[in-house]
Amino acid sequence: MTEILAIANQKGGVGKTTTAVNLAASLAVLKKRVLLIDLDPQGNATMGSGVQKNELNFSATDVILEDAPIEAAILTTKTGYKLMGANRELAGVELNLADKNRREYILKDAINRIADAYDYILIDCAPSLNLITVNALCAADGVIIPMQCEYYALEGLADLSNTIERINHSLNPQLQIRGVLRTLFDPRSTLTNDVSNELISHFGDKVFETVIPRNVRLAEAPAHGMPILFYEKSSKGAIAYLNLAAELVKQGKKYKKAQGKTA
């Protein structure tokens, strides 16, 4: 069974794209078949996967506008996973969707055609709630929420949780929070630890055990167009994302077993 996971946070600068790219690479190292979909017009996940935005023959824009089949937009990367890239053309797509039927489900319908070829499909969302992000949330089974343990973070997380709940009730009854991921984590900071503890008290086992540390090598890797595992595999950042991938796989087995019992 394919797991389709949106990686989302309405706040920027929390390690969302870093998580999308490095989780995709880490799952691929664990021999999982992975597709990473870049749905952010900035195209950072595309570039972080070693693909230049101006070299895309077809992109997320073509798929959302239904100008090309999703198969045509999927690239094989040097990083072990497949990629559907994005560029700035995606920013203007929403205006063209107003009159389309099932406009919230365009991505879901496209993914359904190829989902069986993958174990994991990860969707890197833009840090805003627009119709493109709604498409991602309607296509996904779960949401991974990267967040920095800082002041006001819990308030932003509450807003995103409410958004997910609304979409669950009105558009996608399968959607749930798959996990909250603590990123840019500095265990020496009292504030970081206080927010982390409050997060666990609110969300319990929805908080991943793995934390992603603040790490220089992790910050450098995107500039070289590669995931951290290809840039500095012995770094703390690389080890953390491998641990996250292993935790996600283990968690997924329990999740599937629970689904089987309720089916």
Query: How far from chain centre, in Å, is Cα 104?
Result: 18
Task: Please give the Cα distance from 112 to 115 (Å, whole number).
Answer: 5
Question: Treating both helix axes as pointing N-terminal to C-terminal, what angle do 190-203 and 153-170 enclose, rounded to 10 degrees?
Answer: 30
| 3-class secondary structure, 179 | strand
The most confident of the ranges 98-102, 228-232, 249-253 is 228-232
The whole-number pLDDT of residue 260 equals 55
C-alpha pair distances (Å), 197 with each of 150, 152, 212: 12, 14, 16
Asked if pLDDT for residue 261 goes beyond 70, the answer is no
**Tokens at 210, concatenated:** 């793995």
Q: What is the total residue count of the chain?
A: 263
Amino acid at 54: N
pTM, rounded to two decimals = 0.95
pLDDT band at 257 (very low <50, low <70, confident <90, very high): low
The answer on pLDDT for 30 being more than 90 is: yes
For the chain, what is the largest distance between any 2 Cα atoms, rounded to a whole number of angstroms?
A: 52
Task: Kindly report the backbone phi and psi dihedral angles of residue 176, in degrees, each rounded to the nearest multiple of 5, phi listed first.
Answer: -150, 165
Looking at the chain, the whole-number percentage of residues with pLDDT higher than 90 is: 83
Residue 151's pLDDT band (cuts 50, 70, 90): confident
Q: Which domains does the chain have, with CATH numbers?
A: 3-262 (3.40.50.300)
Q: Is there a contact between 208 and 183 (Cβ–Cβ < 8 Å)?
A: no
pLDDT of residue 178: 96
In this prediction, residues 79-98 reach a mean pLDDT of: 93
Per-residue pLDDT of 173-213, as tens digits, reads: 999 999 999 999 998 999 999 999 999 998 999 999 999 99
pLDDT higher than 60, residue 17: yes
pLDDT in tens, 48-80: 999 999 889 999 999 999 999 999 999 999 999
Q: Are strands 82-84 and 74-76 parallel, antiparallel or unpaired?
A: antiparallel
Confidence of residue 10 (pLDDT cuts 50, 70, 90): confident
CA 40 to chain centre: 11
Distance (Å, whole) CA 84 – CA 107: 12
Q: pLDDT-derived band of residue 142, with 50, 70 and 90 as boundaries?
A: very high
Question: Quick check: 215 and 237 in contact, CB under 8 A?
Answer: yes
H helices of 149-232, in order, are 153-170, 190-203, 216-220, 228-231
Looking at residue 262, what is its pLDDT?
46
